[in-house]
Amino acid sequence: MFTAAEDVCSQAGQFDINNIAYAEPDLVIDRDADGYIIAIWTDMRDAWWFEDDLDQNSSGEEAAVYGRIFDPNLNPISEDFRISGPSEDGTTALNIDLLVLDDGRFVALWVMVDPLPSGQQYTSVRMAMFNRNGEVLIAEKEINENKDVRLRSFPKISRIPDKRFMITWSENKDGLQHWYGQLFDNVNGNQIGGNFQINIPIGSRQFRHFYVNEDEYLGVYDFSVIQRFNTVHEPLNSPVNLNESLG
């Protein structure tokens, strides 16, 4: 079971976040401008092997995404609620991320792994948008436009100036790592244009982007390499290795 300590966001002391405790490997927390807190996590309560423990009908999946909402005083204002939609047997949700907008709406992001009859796995980047009460505004949908079988991972979501947000993720094809992105309007959650490829060195991992102003953003990858990009995703400088700079 997940717990939060008092130094996280208040003097409330340690408290439970989720109602059912069973093998939740991932947790992300964010809050809006009024202090309302949203927590999302991957949860195995619906796994087929967990059915006997809870005496419930499982879907046969391995892991799903759940969430819960708290007021500024850390009082829960919702029960645990499911974020990822209905899934087939053997599916697994992982690599979650979260963006809470100022008005309390939030966007949940994750990778869904679907086993194929061939023995391969189809991975897709999924998102859904909710209001402050946890009601669905945009149902779960797939973001990646390429539908071929390749490993997709490390999805990240960041706020952008002019009421937008950007999602990035990696796609491993033929043993090489490619980075893609997608822009969204955070007023209604609509996509802006299509997927675009971010031209960073092949083989890099763990890409994270931060907007520094309306004209450029900073990409950080491999934990210690940084590079500047303009708003059409062209690099503005060569990659800089911070470890080498500090060494």
- For residue 15, the SS3 value is strand
What Rg do the C-alpha atoms of the chain give, in angstroms?
A: 19
One domain for residues 136 and 185: no
The per-residue pLDDT for range 144-157, each reduced to its tens digit, is 999 887 889 889 89
Q: Tell me the pLDDT tens digit for each residue of 192-240.
A: 999 988 765 555 556 666 666 667 777 777 667 788 888 777 888 888 8
Same-domain pairing of 19 and 61: yes
Same domain, 40 and 115: yes
E strand segments, 36-190: 37-43, 64-70, 81-82, 92-100, 106-115, 121-130, 136-142, 151-160, 164-173, 176-185
Q: Write the pLDDT tens digit of every residue in 2-41.
A: 444 333 334 445 656 766 655 566 899 999 999 999 999 9
CA 27 to chain CA centroid, nearest Å: 10
Shared-domain flag, residues 15 and 126 = yes
Same domain, 26 and 138: yes
Pick the more confident residue, 182 or 246. Answer: 182
One domain, residues 76 and 157: no
Q: Which residues contact 5 (CB under 8 A, 6 or more apart)?
A: 13, 14
Residues 102 and 190 grouped into a single domain: no
Same domain, residue pair 113 and 209: no
CATH number of domain containing 111: 2.120.10.10
Gap between the Cα atoms of 25 and 38, Å rounded: 17
Q: Answer with the one of 90, 122, 142 that is the final residue of a domain.
A: 142
Output b/e per residue, 113-124; b: 16+ Cβ within 10 A.
Answer: bbeeeeeeebbb
Does residue 245 sit in the same domain as residue 203?
yes
Domain boundary among 142, 158, 185: 142
pTM of structure: 0.79
Q: State the residue range of the domain holding 244.
A: 150-247
Last residue of a domain, one of 91, 123, 142: 142
Q: Do the beta carbons of residue 235 and residue 216 sit within 8 Å?
A: no
Handedness of CA 31, 1, 45, 55 (dihedral sign): negative
Cβ atoms of 111 and 94 within 8 Å: the answer is yes
Whether 9 and 114 map to the same domain: the answer is yes
Q: Are residues 16 and 80 in the same domain?
A: yes
One-letter amino acid of 198: I
CA distances from 66 to 43, 110, 233 (A): 6, 11, 33
- Number of compact structural domains in the chain: 2
Cα 247 to Cα 243: distance, rounded to the nearest angstrom: 6
Residues 20 and 116 in one domain: yes
